[in-house]
Structure 1
Amino acid sequence: MTLTSAATPSWITDITMAELEADPRPFYERLRREAPVAFVPQLGLHIVSTRELCLEISKDSENWPAVISPAGGRTFGSGAILNSNGPEHRELRGMVEPHLQPSAVDTYIDDLVRPFARSRLADFEDNGAADIVAEYCEPVSVRALGDLLGLGDVSTDKLREWFHKLSDSFTNADMTADGEFANPDGFIPGDEAKAEIIAHVDPKIDHWIEHPDHTAISHWLHDGMPEGQTRSREVIYPNLYVFLLGAMQEPGHAMGTTLAGLFSRPDQLERVIDDPTLITRAVAEGMRWVAPIWSAAVKVATRKVTVGGVTLPQGSLVMLSYGSANNDENAYDAPTSYDLDRAVIPNLTFGGGVHACAGTYFASAVVRIALEELFESIPNIERDTAHEIDFWGWGFRGPKQLHVQWEV
């Protein structure tokens, strides 16, 4: 029996990418129960679905260095922080982290987020209804990161468009039996976005090379470089694409998800509105409940290894499903339910090990401030039950729409 057939229960081959995008939870629940390490032909790699195994692999960067999924590699190109290791990874972390350290974030985050959040709320708070994802969550999320990066001259709508197109490309992961992309045209949106990004940012890079400023991209160009030298565009752009996708969508999805979770527990929503100090805990539970980055981190085995009872040869690719790990029944009671009062157990929303998300504190602060402003302005917010909550995605997951209403 071959490794692939041994690690692939027959029912896995019947799962379609469309089903995964619509609702990955039943699929991953069965994986955790029957095949916590399983080869998924549709993706061309193994999925690791339990919290224990995700933790084990994420912490072992020596034997499990980071790589990138085929679709991710096609989207970002070479040189992205997601698939760097060793000295290269430390260099790239040193490039992006200074603006994201808690001590730095605390100096600018209020001025970065609150004025825009208040402006967005003023635009619709007298309407009595909104799709809160489109009107508030995504705009606040993309504006915060865009301004931090130095893209204040890019419209909020264009930033949203870029991250949606990059997401379409990154999650275009369906593979054929011979290892080719099943839908090569699915990368067209991402290619269009990247062409626009380069056209807009290239002149800015020319300016920042001669005139450094406080923005993150300017810092990426200069910090740690020898006198008179700057980092090349071949380093800047792949990592800019990573930020414009993952770092832009994560706070917006986390906001919408936290609201959806609180709407499922009206008593807990009321407590959070009455006591804003609970928002941080509410957000942490929201991101555990539905992880914004559900399945994205990929590792490669440096040697033959047995994981979860499955022996994998050297070179095997495994995708760590952090969203599944956060819903693991062996770690959490009733994990698919939102519960502000559940015992606090560390989750894998932001990954683990040396490749844990560098923007953890920044993203959490954006969500916290945005919800503080929302609940202050619209304390009687409630879900509009005439509309379903439209969650979507297996790689990145969050509500595409979340209709709310309130009395004016």
Structure 2
Amino acid sequence: MTSTPLDLAALGEDFARDPYPVYEQLRAQGPVHRVWMPEGAEVWLVVGHEQARAALTDPRLSKQWRNAAEDFPIKSPSGSHMMNSDAPQHTRLRKLVAREFTSRRIESMRASVQKLTDELLDRMLDAGQDRADLVDDFSFPLPMAVICELLGVPFLDQAEVRRWADAAISSPDPAERRAAAQDAARFISRLIEVKRGQPGDDLLSALIKVTDEEGDRLSGDELMGTVFLLIVAGHETTTNLIGNGVFALLTHPDQLELLRSDLSLIDNAVEEMLRYDGAVESATFRFATEPIELGGHLVRPGDAVMVDLNSANRDRTRFADPDRFDIRRATAGHIAFGHGIHHCLGAPLARMEARIAIRSLLERCPGLELDVHPDHVRWRHGILVRGPHHLPVRF
């Protein structure tokens, strides 16, 4: 085990581009390690698959920030939502949201997702060039457009949302994160006010008025937090899933050719993309509420724990030859969308978007390839989300 905390920020661009060799070295030494995050916080990082699943379901590891140590340098984000709640509050919030964010509502959007995908590809291919930035031109605007339709709001200012969402999640500067949270609160407050005055048959209208059998409903703060979660988690997860998945295909030509020759493999291919290089690098903070033994270490009350989902999905004790990208692999057991009560509620929508987007992209762009050397693709820093800033391609 490491004798002193590993400073992840000091690992630089190499770690951002490919963190997996570091995770493999850590797993070889043990499933849990003390690390310094780029934000300046010292946390326990869980890198093993078995220990990750256990930590994600351990009720002694709380998602509520009031259980953080007083000297923890990262401050609680604003808003109350499922991701920063424990049972029974989490159960209540998830039940209220799940009443409206149903599989029927998601499935009803399939034709619309295909239409939005086709429109973005038309625009990209008709631009008079044979190259594009797949993030800016496709993998980011698609989930943003889907969220607009899901919430029933006018076309969002994508540049504004991207700015405060990226800063709120990835900025190592506490002042930038606080400013982004304030910008997000103002933005979402305006959306809710508009929808209160012009309700429709959409998710945001439903969430504003949702009531369960006992008359319970979302408070104003809970509604704000839930909409923030839907916008940020919705676009971050799918944008990075598409970007990471296409990058994996373009850097593994044998798998790209296999998928092109049999597009019925797309469902399993997306699952392997999630396992191989997931969009969510780590689950958000958990805080110990009592002394816990974790991977041979004593975790004290108030200590922060992060579960690295991507490292767990590369653990060779769970997946044979885990660093091999294989779209025919049996992927059952991956935890790319989490595990336990906090398993991502929006996972079915993200999967549907990715399957439609990547299949349509391959059908429309038979000559698709990277327009830069793979080592020149810049990846986002930090260990919360994983994805390229930009993905230059030619077709």
Q: Distance in 2 between matches of 1:103 and 1:71?
A: 42
Which position in structure 1 is the counterpart of 2:222? 235
- Assess if the C-alpha contact under 8 Å between 1:251 and 1:366 holds in 2: yes
The CA deviation at 1:38 is: 2.2
The CA deviation at 1:188 is: 5.2
Structure 2 letter corresponding to 1:268? Q
Matching residue within 334, 355, 361 for 1:347: 334
The CA deviation at 1:227 is: 10
377 and 334 in structure 1: CA distance in 2 versus 1, 3 angstrom threshold: same
Which position in structure 2 is the counterpart of 1:4? none
Matching residue within 272, 275, 280 for 2:267: 280
- Superposed CA offset, 1:360-408 (max 9, x none): 11110011111222222223322224573333232100122222222xx
The CA deviation at 1:27 is: 3.4
227 and 112 in structure 1: CA distance in 2 versus 1, 3 angstrom threshold: farther
Q: Distance in 1 between matches of 2:57 and 2:174?
A: 34
- Assess if the C-alpha contact under 8 Å between 2:134 and 2:392 holds in 1: yes
- Assess if the C-alpha contact under 8 Å between 2:139 and 2:240 holds in 1: yes
Unaligned runs of 5+ in 2: none
Which position in structure 1 is the counterpart of 2:282? 295
Structure 2 letter corresponding to 1:66? K
- Assess if the C-alpha contact under 8 Å between 1:121 and 1:374 holds in 2: yes
- Assess if the C-alpha contact under 8 Å between 1:146 and 1:159 holds in 2: no
Q: Distance in 1 between matches of 2:302 and 2:99?
A: 33
1:365-376 alignment to 2 at 5 Å?
365-376=352-363
Structure 1 letter corresponding to 2:177? F
1:89-104 alignment to 2 at 5 Å?
89-104=90-105
Q: Distance in 1 between matches of 2:116 and 2:226?
A: 25
Q: What is the DSSP-based 3-state SS (H/G/I as helix, E as strand, rest coil) of the residue aligned with 2:285? A: strand
1:6-405 alignment to 2 at 5 Å?
9-10=3-4, 12-13=6-7, 15-16=9-10, 18=12, 21-41=16-36, 42-60=40-58, 62-67=59-64, 74-75=76-77, 77-106=78-107, 108-126=108-126, 127-151=129-153, 153-155=154-156, 158-159=157-158, 161-172=160-171, 183-187=173-177, 190-191=180-181, 193-198=183-188, 200-207=190-197, 211=199, 213-224=200-211, 231-385=218-372, 388-393=376-381, 394-405=383-394
The CA deviation at 1:250 is: 0.7
The CA deviation at 1:235 is: 1.1
> How many residues are matched?
382
- Superposed CA offset, 1:187-216 (max 9, x none): 2551353154135314224325xx4x3211
Q: Distance in 1 between matches of 2:74 and 2:259?
A: 37
Structure 1 letter corresponding to 2:158? L
The CA deviation at 1:254 is: 0.6
- Superposed CA offset, 1:238-270 (max 9, x none): 222222212211111111111111112212212
Q: Distance in 2 between matches of 1:54 and 1:220?
A: 32
The CA deviation at 1:291 is: 1.3
Structure 2 letter corresponding to 1:59? T
Q: Distance in 2 between matches of 1:383 and 1:193?
A: 35
Q: Distance in 1 between matches of 2:293 and 2:122?
A: 56
Q: What is the DSSP-based 3-state SS (H/G/I as helix, E as strand, rest coil) of the residue aligned with 1:297? A: coil
Q: Distance in 2 between matches of 1:386 and 1:15?
A: 24
- Superposed CA offset, 1:97-138 (max 9, x none): 2444434322x1223311111111111214321111111111
Q: Distance in 1 between matches of 2:159 and 2:363?
A: 25
81 and 66 in structure 1: CA distance in 2 versus 1, 3 angstrom threshold: same
- Assess if the C-alpha contact under 8 Å between 2:47 and 2:307 holds in 1: yes
Structure 2 letter corresponding to 1:58? L
The CA deviation at 1:83 is: 1.5
Structure 2 letter corresponding to 1:252? T
Q: Distance in 2 between matches of 1:64 and 1:135?
A: 40
Q: Distance in 2 between matches of 1:272 and 1:136?
A: 20
- Assess if the C-alpha contact under 8 Å between 2:370 and 2:392 holds in 1: yes
TM-score (norm 1): 0.84
- Assess if the C-alpha contact under 8 Å between 2:41 and 2:73 holds in 1: no
Which position in structure 2 is the counterpart of 1:3? none
- Assess if the C-alpha contact under 8 Å between 1:71 and 1:171 holds in 2: no
Q: Distance in 2 between matches of 1:102 and 1:194?
A: 28
284 and 232 in structure 1: CA distance in 2 versus 1, 3 angstrom threshold: same
Structure 2 letter corresponding to 1:336? D
The CA deviation at 1:308 is: 0.8
Q: Distance in 2 between matches of 1:353 and 1:90?
A: 12
Q: What is the DSSP-based 3-state SS (H/G/I as helix, E as strand, rest coil) of the residue aligned with 2:306? A: strand
The CA deviation at 1:330 is: 2.3
Deviates further, 263-272 or 66-75: 66-75
Q: Distance in 1 between matches of 2:226 and 2:74?
A: 12
Structure 2 letter corresponding to 1:123? R
